[in-house]
Amino acid sequence: MSGGRTYRGRLAPSPTGHLHLGHARTFWTAQERAQGQGGVLVLRNEDLDRQRCKPEFVSAMLEDLRWFGFHWVEGPDVGGPHAPYTQSERMPLYRTAFERLRAGGFLYPCTCSRQDVLRALQAPHQGEDEPVYPGTCRGREKSFKLGVSGLEFDASNPQPQTPNSKPSWRFRVSDGQAVSFHDGQLGPQTFVAGADFGDFVVWRNDDLPAYQLACVVDDAAMGITEVVRGADLLASTARQLLLYEALGLKAPAFHHCPLMTDERGVRLAKRHDALSLRVLRVRGVSPAELRAGWIRGELSSNLGTPMP
Ligand code: GLU
């Protein structure tokens, strides 16, 4: 229990590939923290990226997690009071939050076609964080008006250079604002808006919420009291704290785990097939051995060489 509230933690994998040992280690911390506090562990299927998420990865994800020894009491396969637990089935919640942010004047439409708009569906892991947006479309709200098919370019106010493209929507940060929080694992953290991250996409021009918004909406709606995830998402936490504030939602506590890297110091990713839970299982390695290995600080010396 924390502050009288039952501890609620979550595992939030994206079914874009097979889970690997790095996921398992972070998730194990999440599970241990939930169990240690007599709390509840929720599984959420973060499948908003339609191009990369595949049904076969969802079933593999459930199977691999169970094999490894994870137990969730709410989730896509078991239901629960905050169902559905699959993000693609929760669109109305994201849309409502988006409309609230837009009505509150926190957002502006952006017609820049940039990699960060394309990538906004995924959590930005190490080396994937977007460059600080230069603010090209800041102040362009007036160039769009609400029309029958949603937001349309207003020809009487012809600022944007790409009038026919649907805009994505960015959250406007206050340049120079320090966003600070206490991390349960790493201690005090501070990120400066406009320097460490810029105006970020919350709604994409193909009508999907960005990871940052969907994550905040779900963690709040599911009553999550502590978010346990990889340290590469620290700057995402700073962005998300701004969204909690703008939406008037209570932010959870945060606990960011050190990343697992291969022998070359590269963060484990879904391309490290040799370290996927699937491959390890087929090779007859047991979850207990794997856990004992990471406690001893070993990774793959006896598990095979990660693929480049
Ligand atoms: N689905 C995200 C990922 O797998 C979750 C990030 C988070 O824990 O907030 O990267």
What's the CATH code of the domain at 23? Answer: 3.40.50.620
Does position 155 have pLDDT exceeding 70, yes or no? Answer: no
Assigned domain for 15 exists = yes
Assigned domain for 183 exists = yes
- Looking at the fold, whether 25 and 76 belong to one and the same domain comes out as yes
Q: Give yes or no for a contact between 19 and 276, defined as CB atoms under 8 angstroms apart.
A: yes
State the residue range of the domain holding 142.
93-203
Q: Which of 11, 53, 215 to mutate to test the pocket of ligand 1 (most atoms within 8 A of CB)?
A: 215
Q: What is the pLDDT, as a whole number, of residue 296?
A: 67
13 CA → ligand 1 middle, Å: 6
243 CA → ligand 1 middle, Å: 16
Place of tokens 């990699």: 115
- Looking at the fold, whether 140 and 155 belong to one and the same domain comes out as yes
- Share of residues in the chain with pLDDT > 90 (%): 71
- Two tokens at 52? 């990369």
Q: Give yes or no for a contact between 127 and 216, defined as CB atoms under 8 angstroms apart.
A: no
Atom of ligand 1 nearest to the CA of 236: 9
d(CA 24, CA 70): 9
Higher pLDDT, 104 or 156: 104
- Looking at the fold, whether 99 and 192 belong to one and the same domain comes out as yes
Assigned domain for 247 exists = no
Out of 183, 203, 223, a domain closes at 203
Residue type, 184: G
- Looking at the fold, whether 25 and 85 belong to one and the same domain comes out as yes
pLDDT averaged over every residue in the chain: 88
Catalytic residue among 54, 142, 145, 270: 270
- Share of residues in the chain with pLDDT > 70 (%): 85
pLDDT bin (cut points 50, 70, 90) of residue 151 is low
Neighbours of 169 (CB within 10 A): 24
- Looking at the fold, whether 106 and 172 belong to one and the same domain comes out as yes
- CATH number of the CATH domain containing 138: 3.90.800.10
274 exposure class (CB count in 10 Å sphere: 0-12, 13-18, 19+):
middle
Assigned domain for 199 exists = yes
Query: Does the annotation mark 270 as catalytic?
Result: yes
- Check residue 197 and give left, alpha or beta (phi > 0: left; psi -120 to 50: alpha): beta
Pocket of ligand 1 (CB under 6 A): 12-14, 46, 123, 215, 229, 233
- Looking at the fold, whether 68 and 55 belong to one and the same domain comes out as yes
Assigned domain for 193 exists = yes
- Check residue 265 and give left, alpha or beta (phi > 0: left; psi -120 to 50: alpha): left
The tally of domains found in the chain comes to 2
Q: What is the pLDDT, as a whole number, of residue 294?
A: 81
Assigned domain for 222 exists = no
- Looking at the fold, whether 52 and 97 belong to one and the same domain comes out as no
- Looking at the fold, whether 106 and 69 belong to one and the same domain comes out as no
Residues 289-305 have a mean pLDDT of: 66
15 CA → ligand 1 middle, Å: 10
Distance of CA 104 to the CA centre of its chain: 23
Atom of ligand 1 nearest to the CA of 228: 8
- Looking at the fold, whether 78 and 120 belong to one and the same domain comes out as no
Assigned domain for 28 exists = yes
